[in-house]
């Protein structure tokens, strides 16, 4: 969901009022699981995507002609990724870093220091701010949207459920974010706006005394 959220923020459909992104990436080629830092990567997750794509469709799971077409007439995702072994248009179309100037909705990002995608939130925060400011100077518009970043000692999971900690109720924070912006609650929005743009949770060093 984190990846789709960032892509949706870049497309900015009129009905979109706010976005939350957890454990995502700004660069689909170099910083995702297919070509990690440009090196082809395979694991059970990547192979499982082709297997799951072969499942019959919900909600009825019919073994009909549509399922046969999905199963035997579609090119496996793995083959598609391998054919795009460079930082090409294929990856850039879906990499938020190439669309920062189009992001215009309030954006809350949560990332864990023990996750592969540990730096995406700060990269997106910086990139959107700089691109929007440049756009504003050039065209007289483009003010950066409200963005908040939460970084902490978490793995590839909600901070509520992470193996590492300390944990906190991130789902409640996300619900507050959506409630404020989807209902246009100006009191809540003003309160959130006053809070730090970046919140960093760190573990304290053990006392030696």
Report the pLDDT value the prediction gives residue 49, as an integer from 0 to 100. Answer: 87
Low-confidence residues in the chain, pLDDT < 70: 132-143, 205-209
- Write the pLDDT tens digit of every residue in 5-23: 999 998 889 999 999 999 9
In sequence order, the 6+-apart residues with CB closer than 8 A to the CB of 87 are 29, 30, 38
Handedness of CA 148, 149, 150, 156 (dihedral sign): positive
Report the pLDDT value the prediction gives residue 90, as an integer from 0 to 100. Answer: 94
Report the pLDDT value the prediction gives residue 98, as an integer from 0 to 100. Answer: 93
- Token look-up 């059970």 returns 44
At residue 21, φ and ψ (nearest 5 deg) are: -130, 130
Report the pLDDT value the prediction gives residue 15, as an integer from 0 to 100. Answer: 94
Q: What is the CA radius of gyration of the chain?
A: 20
What span, in angstroms and rounded, lies between the C-alpha atoms of 120 and 127? 10
User: And the tokens for 83?
Assistant: 């054919």
Report the pLDDT value the prediction gives residue 192, as an integer from 0 to 100. Answer: 95
Report the pLDDT value the prediction gives residue 43, as an integer from 0 to 100. Answer: 86
Report the pLDDT value the prediction gives residue 37, as an integer from 0 to 100. Answer: 87
């Amino acid at each position: 969901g984190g990846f789709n959220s960032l892509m949706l923020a870049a497309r900015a459909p009129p009905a979109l009022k706010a976005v939350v992104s957890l454990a995502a990436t700004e660069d689909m080629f170099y910083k995702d699981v297919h070509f990690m830092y440009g090196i082809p990567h395979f694991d059970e997750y990547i192979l499982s995507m082709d297997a799951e794509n072969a499942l019959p469709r919900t909600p009825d799971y019919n073994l009909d002609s549509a399922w046969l077409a999905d199963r035997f007439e579609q090119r496996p995702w793995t083959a598609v990724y391998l054919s795009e072994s460079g930082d090409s248009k294929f990856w850039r179309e879906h990499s938020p870093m190439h669309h920062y100037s189009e992001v215009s909705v309030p954006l809350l990002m949560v990332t864990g220091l023990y996750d592969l995608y540990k730096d995406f939130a700060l990269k997106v925060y910086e990139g959107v701010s700089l691109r929007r400011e440049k756009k504003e100077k050039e065209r007289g518009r483009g003010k950066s949207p409200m963005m908040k970043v939460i970084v902490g000692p978490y793995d590839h999971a909600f901070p509520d459920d992470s193996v590492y900690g300390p944990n906190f109720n991130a789902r409640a924070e996300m619900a507050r974010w959506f409630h404020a912006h989807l209902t246009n609650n100006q009191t809540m929005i003003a309160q959130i706006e006053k809070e730090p743009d970046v919140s960093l949770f760190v573990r304290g060093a053990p006392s030696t005394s």
